[in-house]
Amino acid sequence: MGSLNLYILKRRIRKWWKYLVVLIFLLAVYFGGFFHITGNISTTPPSEHSRNTMKEVFALRRQIRLLKSVLKQYSIPEKEYSDVLLPVIYVITPTYTRPQQKAELTRLKSVFLHVPALHWIVVEDAPKKSQMVSNFLESSGLTHTHLHQSTPQEWKLKDSDPKWRKPRGVLQRNAGIRWLRSKFAHDANPRGVVYFADDDNTYSVELFHEMRDTHKVSVWPVALVGGVLVERPLVGSNGQVSSWLAGWKADRPFAMDMAGFAVNLSLLLNKSGVEFSIDAPIGFQESVFLEKLITQEELEPKADLCTKVYVWHTRTEQPDLKQEIRLNKVGKHTDEGIEL
C-alpha cells in the first residue's frame, strides 16, 4: 500500500509540476513589478508618479483576484483554459452515411466543444466528401480536418452480418494517421496525443483531461463492451498494468477496446509505418497495433489507476423507417429539402 501511495504521489507531481512552475512565474512577475513600484515610491515623492500607472497596477490586482475566484469556483486548472500551453489532442473519427450519422456526430461535437486544444479529424468511408459532413464541420466551431477513404466492397459488412465479422474503420483510421504524418513531416518532436474515437460511442469530458499528458500510451476502462459491463486493465501495487479483465480472450496482448487507449503523437510518428491492419485476426486490431509501439509494462494507467469509467461503447438503435419506405414508393420523402 505504501508503494502504491508513493506512486500516486509521484504521478500527481508529474501531472501538475508544469502548472506550478507557470503559477510561480506569474506570481514572481506580478510581485516583482509591484515591489519595483513600491521601491520607487519610497525614494520619489508620490506626486511625481503617474496616476495611470498606479491605476493599472490596482486594476491588475483586481483581475488576479477575480481570476482566482473563478478558478476556485469551477475547479479549473490553468491547463484547461490556456490552449497555448497544451499538447493538442488529435481525435480521429471514422464515419459513414446512415440516417443517424448527423445525430452521432452532434453528440461527439457537444463533448468536444468543452475540450480545449482539440483537433477533430473526421474520415468518411466514401469515395468523396459528403456535403452534409462538410457543412456540419464548418459550423461546428471546432478545429477540424475532413478526409475520405473508401473501404473495398469485399471488406464491408452486409446487413445480415454481425458487427464483429469484419473490421470497421481500419482504412479510415489509417487515413487519419497518414494525414498526421504528412502534417508533421518536418517536425522532429511534435507535441500532441492521438485518440481513435468511433462516432457511436459516448465520451465524458474527463476522458480528455486524463489523456492530455500521455507520454507513450495511456489506458483506461471502457464500459458496455465485449459482453461485459466494464472491460479494463488491472493495475498492480507498483502502478503498472498487470493483466486484463475482459469477457472475451483476456489473454490477448492488449485485451481492450479501441476507445480504451491514447497514443503520444511523437511516439506514433517516430515509429515508421505503424498503422492498423485490415488482415488482423478478429478482435486483435488493438493488440496488433499496440505491439508495434509499446510493451504492457510501459502502459500508463489513467482514470484513478483504471478504477473509473469515462467512455461507454454505446450503439444507437437502428431507426424504424418502414413508413418512410412506404411513402417513398408513392413518391414522397419526408426529408425532402431538409438535412437531418
Catalytic residue (choose from 138, 286, 297, 317) = 286
Q: Amino acid identity of 224?
A: L
**Strand locations in the chain (E):** 88-95, 118-124, 143-148, 192-196, 202-203, 217-219, 222-225, 228-235, 241-245, 261-264, 300-301, 311-312
Residue 12 annotated as binding site? no
Rounded distance between C-alpha atoms, residue 257 and residue 74, angstroms: 32
Residue 252 annotated as binding site? no
Residue 11 annotated as binding site? no
Residue 74 annotated as binding site? no
List the end-to-end C-alpha distance of the chain, in Å, as a whole number.
Answer: 54
Task: Report the half-sphere exposure of 294 (CA within 13 A, side-chain side).
Answer: 22
Residue 314 annotated as binding site? yes
Residue 168 annotated as binding site? yes
Contact 94, 195 (CB under 8 A): no
Q: Phi/psi of residue 181, each to 5°?
A: -60, -40
Does 231 participate in catalysis according to the annotation?
Answer: no
Residue 44 annotated as binding site? no
Contact 112, 120 (CB under 8 A): yes
Residue 304 annotated as binding site? no
Residue 98 annotated as binding site? no
Residue 191 annotated as binding site? no
Binding site for UDP-alpha-D-glucuronate, by residue number, is 94-96, 125, 168, 173, 198-200, 313-315
Binding-site residues for Mn(2+) sit at 200
Residue numbers in the known binding site are 94-96, 125, 168, 173, 198-200, 313-315
Query: Mind telling me the catalytic residues?
Result: 286
